[in-house]
Amino acid sequence: MSAAAANDAAGTDATTADSALLDAARAWLAQDPDGETRAELRELISASEAGDATATADLADRFSTRLAFGTAGLRGRLGAGSNRMNRVLVGQAAAGLAAFLRGRWEEGSDAPCVIVGYDGRRNSDVFARDSAEIFAGAGLRAILLPRLLPTPVLAFAVRHLGASAGVMVTASHNPPDDNGYKVYLGGADEGSQIVAPSDAEIAAHIARVAERGDLAAIPRSLGYEMAPESVVEAYVQATAAVAPAGQGAEGLTWTYTAMHGVGWETLSHILEVAGYPAPVVVEAQIEPDGAFPTVSFPNPEEPGAMDLAFETAREAGAEFVLANDPDADRLAVAIPDEHAEGGWRQLTGNQVGLLLGWRAARLAAELGTTDAASLACSLVSSPGLAAVAEHYGLGFHATLTGFKWISRAPGMIYGFEEALGYLVNPETVRDKDGISAAVAMLGMATEARARGVGIAGLLAEFDETFGAFASDQISVRVDDVSSIGRIMAALRAEHPTAVGDVAVDRVDDLLEGVDGFPPGDVLRLWLTDGSRVIVRPSGTEPKLKLYLDVRGDSADDARGRIAALSAGARQLLEALG
């Protein structure tokens, strides 16, 4: 073929692709009930038809793929298109989930019940009402929570009401322009988030709905119910009972931030019932605001996100800070530290997780319920929890990342993951719960306070009892996601012989189904000094993550070991390019 002919062929292919994009966009526009996203899409279509390459590229990003429905449900940026969160996509997801539940409906039994909750993000309430209408239109019993509420309240309601499923509209701590759709299952799943094969079955139903391409044809009904306040009150009472206030609570000064999320209304009622003094709140962040105006990223783990809380705590003379993320399923803890910048130090998720695990194990021992009971954490979380379990004669389970796995650990009385997630009350909520975790932490802190010990003292006592564990995490954000696969392939092709100055003893490749784990894109390196390095791609962001763990003879020794291991891990990454 001549060069001219090749150019003509390439031009024809490009024209065909652009035409297909425009056809997909017009088909989407025809079924979109949202005036805002319709206007957005019309403008893009017009610009692309006029030859605007930027608009065409935007359309390609929106329509060349589709937000995948998986074990994390749906999550993505708001906007028009199959690769965005919007009313069309949510409507298709609701109809697909309804078809899945109808397929499980046994003739002669009551209709499946679905509970829908939503947080304070943009369009969360709209997506929730759309879902409730579609569930009701499918002949299911649909119940909408009475107002915006934390994710743990929805997870609680699924178990409390014996529902077949629950949907929470939230993107948790994602950027402001994101939203998401999280699915829980009742029955044998006991209110946990979905796992395989349910995720694939629901996704297949959603795909069939989407192929029909007519959102207006999906039956709807206004016959859904509003959940009574008694459901929220039941969660308040159950959570207050996690750790009622004792003597050490008297005179306590502490600070709380909701990070512009929905946690405060529910937590404030729980504090009253449990008997804790009200905190000094971060006023600028206490009310729900989906724009998250005071933070660039509404995640307590992100640099700068806790600055206002620290400022408030300094002014108040607070003894510690507790923070929820926007949907209140995570908890952050910070304590005064004269050696830290600004005088405050945020604890790692592992530090908080180990303290709460110690609390759970001690309570089980005091109640004589250690038989068949276990502690659980994700495989990337601190191995210190295994030491706690061994000390108290409890079972221990390491799971894949995510509470959909942690919540299913046999005999689990407590579970955590290092990303600020803690499950302290599994009989009522089978998911991470930042509010019940806050109450448990208040209980620990005030009990210690009654003995003249602060949270820093609890950390020292933990080290003396179980050993000094230290952790670090290295996250490498990439522009080209394929580079993550290249790095993982290089590590598999030739296992590292050392990380820094410490030799590698063995390597576990979870793609091969190690230790009973389902196959996963995870490498676990065990070093000769007992240290551990885990390498895995992020499941939600374009990042490669390394999780580093050591056990030292003392806190200072552990800090030195983790610093050396971190330096060695960074050298390894640099060598891999």
* Distance between CA atoms of residues 320 and 520, nearest Å: 38
**Among 408, 414, 423, residue whose Cα is nearest residue 389:** 414
The answer to whether 128 touches 169, Cβ cutoff 8 Å, is: yes
Q: Is 457 exposed, middle or buried (0-12, 13-18, 19+ CB in 10 A)?
A: middle
**Spatial separation of the C-alpha atoms in residues 394 and 416, rounded to whole Å:** 16
For the chain, helix, strand, coil in percent to 5 are 45, 20, 35
Q: Are 300 and 259 in contact (CB under 8 A)?
A: yes
Distance of CA 389 to the CA centre of its chain: 25
Q: Confirm if 424 and 413 have CB atoms less than 8 A apart.
A: no
Residue with tokens 């910070």: 334
Alpha carbon distance, N-terminus to C-terminus of the chain: 39
> 452: how many CB neighbours lie within 10 A of its CB?
8
Q: How far is CA 229 from the centre of its chain?
A: 26
Helix 229-240 vs helix 151-160: crossing angle, to nearest 10 = 100
Give the Cα separation of 334 and 456 in Å (integer).
10
Distance CA 323, CA 299 (A): 10
Cα 45 to Cα 25, 30, 78, 479, 550: the distances in Å are 7, 13, 18, 27, 55
List, by residue number, the catalytic residues: 172
H-state helical runs in 146-185: 151-160
Q: Which residues of 3-29 are buried (b: 16+ CB within 10 A; e: fewer)?
A: eeeeeeeeeeeeeeebeebbebbeebb
What are the two backbone dihedrals, phi and then psi, of residue 552, each rounded to the nearest 5 degrees?
-110, 170
